[in-house]
């Protein structure tokens, strides 16, 4: 029993119009014509009906993490694992399945109070190819899911036990600390995978964080698409938070931009992948081999 991917991400935002422009003009995501029941934007990045839903609200933060199970039997086993850990599980209704475009799902909360859903049977529309509003080749998704999220958590050890022992994530590696970005010496960032993507989830403990979501990552299929998007941001598409660089652990070539909600989006290419048969957990004392610096004033 294990989660197979981070399949979708819900975000609650104050400025829905700004997010529509950001998602299409900068990120290159496709907005579905229909909206969610709460007026949310449904954003597409591959053959799935949608991978993101952006809902109106005041939080400017993650609203839901959607984790995929390979089958109904795996979904049932995941629910049993959560209940055995003392985590309440609430199965969805037919209206919920229609809203998420899945066969079945249930809801639960992680130890930090972050709303989560586990589901099986996502709607796939190969007869309706993804069409980005920007001239990009597309995103690396499929069995690797939508990308990754980095979360601020209350207790790192407790969150690690939950995501590994209950949901079945595996440890990828550690980064401690990050002197090139003046991170505190006690800042430990733990990275976890559930498929060949180096990490679908990373977390660090921060007391009273401003929000739970530090950033989400989108991986494009060509190096040129990272460069073109970097130029788009420099031309006013979004503020650049960290410049182009390459990470030490997943070897991703990327940069970070600010979103209309204040959290960041990493836009990258070329990350290494995990083979669980040979993978060995590593410790890194710097987050990047080069680059990923705050832009000069």
Whichever domain contains 101, its CATH number is 3.10.180.10
Enter the DSSP assignment of 222.
-
For the sheet with 288-291, list strands across it: 282-284, 170-175, 189-193, 201-205, 148-153, 213-219, 264-269, 253-258, 240-247, 288-291
The answer to the question of residue 131 being in a domain is: no
> Which residue bears the tokens 């660089």?
245
pLDDT tens digits in sequence order for the chain, 297 residues long: 689 999 999 999 999 999 999 999 999 999 999 999 899 999 999 999 999 999 999 999 999 999 999 999 999 999 999 999 999 999 999 999 999 999 999 999 999 999 999 999 999 999 999 999 999 999 999 999 999 999 999 999 999 999 999 999 999 999 986 555 554 555 789 999 999 999 999 999 988 999 999 999 999 999 999 999 999 999 999 999 999 999 999 999 999 999 999 999 999 999 999 999 999 999 998 899 999 999 985
Do 11 and 116 fall within a single domain?
A: yes
The answer to the question of residue 265 being in a domain is: yes
Do 37 and 69 fall within a single domain?
A: yes
The answer to the question of residue 126 being in a domain is: no
Do 179 and 253 fall within a single domain?
A: yes
The answer to the question of residue 154 being in a domain is: yes
Do 286 and 148 fall within a single domain?
A: yes
The answer to the question of residue 137 being in a domain is: no
Do 223 and 166 fall within a single domain?
A: yes
Do 150 and 272 fall within a single domain?
A: yes
The answer to the question of residue 133 being in a domain is: no
Number of domains in the chain: 2
Domain with 264 in it = 142-291
Sort strands 61-68 and 90-91 into parallel, antiparallel or unpaired.
unpaired
């Amino acid at each position: 029993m294990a989660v197979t991917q981070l399949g979708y991400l819900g975000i609650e935002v104050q400025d829905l119009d700004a997010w529509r422009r950001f998602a299409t003009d900068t990120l290159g995501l496709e907005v579905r014509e229909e909206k969610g029941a709460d007026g949310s934007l449904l954003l597409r990045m591959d053959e799935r009906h949608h991978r993101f839903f952006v809902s109106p609200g005041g939080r400017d933060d993650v609203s839901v993490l959607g984790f995929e199970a390979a089958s109904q039997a795996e979904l049932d086993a995941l629910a049993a694992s959560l209940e055995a850990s003392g985590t309440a599980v609430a199965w969805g209704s037919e209206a919920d399945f229609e809203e998420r475009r899945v066969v079945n799902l249930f809801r639960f909360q992680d130890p930090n109070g972050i709303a989560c859903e586990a589901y099986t049977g996502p709607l796939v529309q190969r007869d309706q190819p993804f069409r980005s509003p920007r001239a990009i080749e597309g995103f690396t998704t499929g069995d690797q899911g939508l990308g990754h999220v980095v979360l601020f958590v209350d207790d790192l050890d407790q969150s690690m036990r939950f995501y590994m022992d209950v949901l079945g994530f595996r440890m990828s590696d550690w980064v401690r600390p990050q002197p090139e970005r003046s991170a505190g010496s006690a800042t430990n960032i733990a990275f976890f995978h559930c498929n060949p993507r180096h990490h679908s989830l990373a977390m660090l403990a921060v007391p009273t964080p401003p929000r739970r979501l530090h950033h989400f990552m989108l991986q494009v299929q060509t190096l040129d698409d990272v460069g073109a998007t970097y130029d788009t941001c420099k031309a006013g598409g979004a503020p650049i938070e960290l410049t182009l660089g390459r990470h030490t652990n997943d070897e991703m070539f990327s940069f970070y931009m600010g979103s209309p909600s204040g959290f960041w989006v990493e836009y990258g290419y070329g990350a290494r992948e995990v083979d669980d048969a040979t993978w060995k957990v590593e410790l890194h004392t710097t987050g990047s081999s080069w680059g990923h610096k705050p832009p000069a004033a």
